Amino acid sequence: MRDALIGEVLVQPDELARRVRELGAEISRDYKDREPVLIGVLKGAAFFIADLMRAIEGHCVVDFMAVSSYGSSTATSGVVRILKDLDMSIEGRDVLVVEDIVDSGLTLSYLLRTLRAREPRSVEVCALLTKPSRRRVDLDLKYVGFEIPDKFAIGYGLDVEERYRNLPFVAEYGGNVDDL
Q: How far apart are CA 22 and CA 29, in angstroms?
A: 11
**CA nearest 126: which of 150, 100, 88?**
100
CB nearer to ligand IMP: give 19 or 130: 130
CB of 103 to Mg ion, least distance (A): 9
Q: How far apart are CA 175 and CA 6, in angstroms?
A: 8
User: How far is CA 154 from each of CA 6, 31, 78, rounded to the nearest angstrom?
Assistant: 8, 31, 21
Selection from Mg ion, ligand IMP, none that 155 binds (CB < 5 to 8 A by kind) is none
Q: Is 103 a catalytic residue?
A: yes
CB of 172 to ligand IMP, least distance (A): 9
CB nearer to ligand IMP: give 36 or 44: 44
Q: Which of 51, 94, 100, 103 is catalytic?
A: 103
CA dihedral (87, 106, 164, 131) positive or negative: negative
CB nearer to Mg ion: give 30 or 135: 135
Report the interface residues with ligand IMP, using CB under 6 A: 44, 76, 99-108, 152-153, 158
Q: Which residues are catalytic?
A: 103
